[in-house]
Amino acid sequence: MPETPLRRYDVVTFGETMIRLHAPGYERLEATNHLDIRIGGSESNTAVALSRLGTQTAWWSKLPANSLGKRIENEIRRWNVDTSAVIWDTTPEARTGLYFLDFGTSPRPTEVLYDRANSSASTLAPTDLDASLIQQTRLLHLTGITPALSETCAETFRLAIALAKESETLVSLDTNYRGKLWTSKRAYETLLPVMPELDLLITPLSDAEIIFGITGSGAEVAREFRQRFNIPSVVVTCGGEGAYACNAEGEWFSQPHALGQVVDRVGAGDAFDAGIIYGYLNDDLLGGLEYGIAMAALKHTIPGDLFIASREEVERLRSGGETGIRR
270 has catalytic annotation = yes
d(CA 315, CA 90): 43
Is cis: bond before 107, omega within 30 of 0? Answer: yes
- Please report how close the Cβ of residue 132 comes to ligand KDG at its closest, in angstroms: 26
Would you say 112 or 125 has its CB closer to ligand KDG?
A: 112
The residue from 145, 161, 170, 243 that contacts ligand KDG (CB under 6 A) is 145
Binding mask 88-127 for ligand KDG (x = CB under 6 A): -----------x----------------------------
Does the protein bind ligand KDG through residue 61 (CB under 6 A)?
no
Does the protein bind ligand KDG through residue 267 (CB under 6 A)?
yes
Could you say which of 270, 273, 283, 284 is catalytic? 270
The residue from 269, 275, 292, 304 that contacts ligand KDG (CB under 6 A) is 269
- Please report how close the Cβ of residue 272 comes to ligand KDG at its closest, in angstroms: 10
d(CA 114, CA 97): 8
Does the protein bind ligand KDG through residue 271 (CB under 6 A)?
no
d(CA 259, CA 298): 9
| Closest among 184, 172, 113, 95 to 148, alpha carbons compared | 184
Output the residue with the shortest Cβ distance to ligand KDG.
40
Backbone angles phi, psi at 79, to 5 degrees: -100, 25
User: Which residues 6+ apart lie within 8 Å of 67 measured at CB?
Assistant: none
Residues that bind ligand KDG (CB under 6 A): 40-42, 45, 99, 145, 178, 266-267, 269-270, 305
